[in-house]
Amino acid sequence: MNPLQWATDPWGKIVPIHIAWFLIWVAAIAGLLFVIVHAIYVRYFAKRRQFEPDHAPVDPAKIPAHVPRHSPVARAFHWIMAASMFTLLFTAFLPKVGVQFDWVTYHWIAGAVLTVSVLFHIFHASFFLDFWSIWPDKIDIRDARRRLQRSMGKTAPPPERFAKYPLENKLYHAAIMAAGLSAMVTGVFMMSRVRTVFFPRNPYLFSDMTWGMMYVLHGLAGVGLIALITVHVYFGIRPEKRPITKSMIFGWMSRDFYLEEHDPARWPVEARALPSRSQGTQPRS
């Protein structure tokens, strides 16, 4: 069972042409398996979470009842990206599983929307948001080790509360960024093979081998996104994660949830009232 489809080009070279479509089912099943295994683990095996006590507890009264988490611009980006991503996945893969419709135009339009919104997001996150808040830091790595040890019954101190984003969020962001950027960059080049308003058609932009690799990468990123989006939607509707999902709709999370899950020192919402820390981490806004 070859995960890639190969062909002989007119010059006699064996080149990849795209992924084998059974990978669609592999990705979908992998995503669903993760969901099932995780749900069973949380329901029957997971231990109650414990966090290290705050080094310098804050006065809850100084925390607003609605802790701002996502700006309107950030939320708009997220939902535009979500809409375009779903459009891309449905238009890409439904025809491959037997639902036939005129998909190409919708696909490249959604791809163009996604590309523009991601470029905007990169700019916005770089200059108007705390760029580093979505990347794992030393505390995340240390706490991940502690959590793993504790889950295996070993003795380890409890982890600290999270910064703005839990490590899982950060890792997910990295994974979706890798898959998304791969699909986008290859997709932009692939637009030169269809008639769009952006480029004149030029199917000879690259060699057959390079084109083949590009289609393969696009396909792998695409099926990877099936699994990633499945997992993302699953976490979005899990009861304990709903405050985070709601914050992506309304822009805020409750003070109680904030104090329960997040470390005000790592994610201060009222900088003047909170103590600073000296553990080598960067101050965050």
Partner 1 sequence: MAVIRDVMPAFELVQPTSIADAQRALERQGENGWVLAGGMDSFDWLKDRIKRPAVVVDLSGVAELKGVRTTADGIEIGAMTTLTEIVQHPVIREKYKLLADAAELVASPQIRNQGTLGGNLSQDARCWYYRAGWPCYRAGGNICYADTPEGRNREHAILYADRCVAVNPSDTAPALIALDAKFVMRTPKGERVVDAEDYFIGPQIDITRLHILQPGDLLTAIRIPSTWAGTQFYFEKVRDRNVWDFPLLNVASAMAVSSDSIDRIRIAVNGAAARPLRLKGVEDAVRGKPANAATGEMAGKLAVQGAVPLQFNAYKIPLMRNLVKRAIGSVGEAT
* Environment class of 277 (CB within 10 Å of its CB; exposed 0-12, middle 13-18, buried 19+): middle
Out of 5, 196, 245, 254, the only residue in the binding site for partner 1 (CB under 8 A) is: 5
Instruction: Mark the segment that binds partner 1 (CB under 8 A) among 51-59, 150-158, 198-206, 226-234.
Output: 198-206
**Residue 12 interacting with partner 1 (CB under 8 A):** no
Judged by beta carbon, residue 77 or residue 93, the one nearer partner 1 is: 93
Judged by beta carbon, residue 104 or residue 116, the one nearer partner 1 is: 104
Judged by beta carbon, residue 61 or residue 197, the one nearer partner 1 is: 197
Can you list the alpha helix ranges (DSSP code H) found in the chain?
Answer: 22-40, 72-93, 104-127, 138-151, 167-190, 208-237, 242-250, 255-261
Whose tokens are 């960059």? That residue is: 185
Instruction: Give the shortest CB-125-to-partner 1 separation in angstroms.
Output: 34
Element (H, E) at 4: strand 4-8
Judged by beta carbon, residue 6 or residue 131, the one nearer partner 1 is: 6
- Cβ contacts of 94 within 8 Å, gap of 6 or more: 101, 103
Note whether 69 and 278 are within 8 A (CB): no
Out of 55, 62, 145, 195, the only residue in the binding site for partner 1 (CB under 8 A) is: 195
Which two tokens mark 23?
A: 């990978």
Q: What's the distance, CA 127 to chain centroid?
A: 20
Instruction: Give the shortest CB-20-to-partner 1 separation in angstroms.
Output: 11
Instruction: Give the shortest CB-9-to-partner 1 separation in angstroms.
Output: 7
Instruction: Mark the segment that binds partner 1 (CB under 8 A) among 1-9, 81-89, 122-130, 136-144.
Output: 1-9
Instruction: Give the shortest CB-23-to-partner 1 separation in angstroms.
Output: 15
**Residue 7 interacting with partner 1 (CB under 8 A):** yes
254 backbone dihedrals φ, ψ, rounded to 5° = -75, 155
Instruction: Give the shortest CB-87-to-partner 1 separation in angstroms.
Output: 16
**Residue 51 interacting with partner 1 (CB under 8 A):** no
Judged by beta carbon, residue 35 or residue 194, the one nearer partner 1 is: 194
Distance CA 149, CA 209 (A): 46
> Nearest-CA neighbor of 203 among 58, 9, 13?
9
96-155 binders of partner 1 (CB under 8 A)? 100-105
**Residue 93 interacting with partner 1 (CB under 8 A):** no
Distance CA 91, CA 69 (A): 32
Which two tokens mark 257?
A: 């949830």
Instruction: Mark the segment that binds partner 1 (CB under 8 A) among 31-39, 67-75, 190-198, 272-280.
Output: 190-198
Site track 203-232 with partner 1 (rule: CB under 8 A), x = hit: xx---x--xx--x-----------------
**What number of chain residues touch partner 1 (CB under 8 A)?**
25
Instruction: Give the shortest CB-113-to-partner 1 separation in angstroms.
Output: 20
Helix H, strand E, coil C: the string for 129-194 is: CCHHHHCCCHHHHHHHHHHHHHHCCCCCCCCCCECCCCHHHHHHHHHHHHHHHHHHHHHHHHHHHC
Q: Give contact residues for partner 1 (rule: CB under 8 A).
A: 5, 7-10, 15, 17-18, 95, 100-105, 193-195, 201, 203-204, 208, 211-212, 215
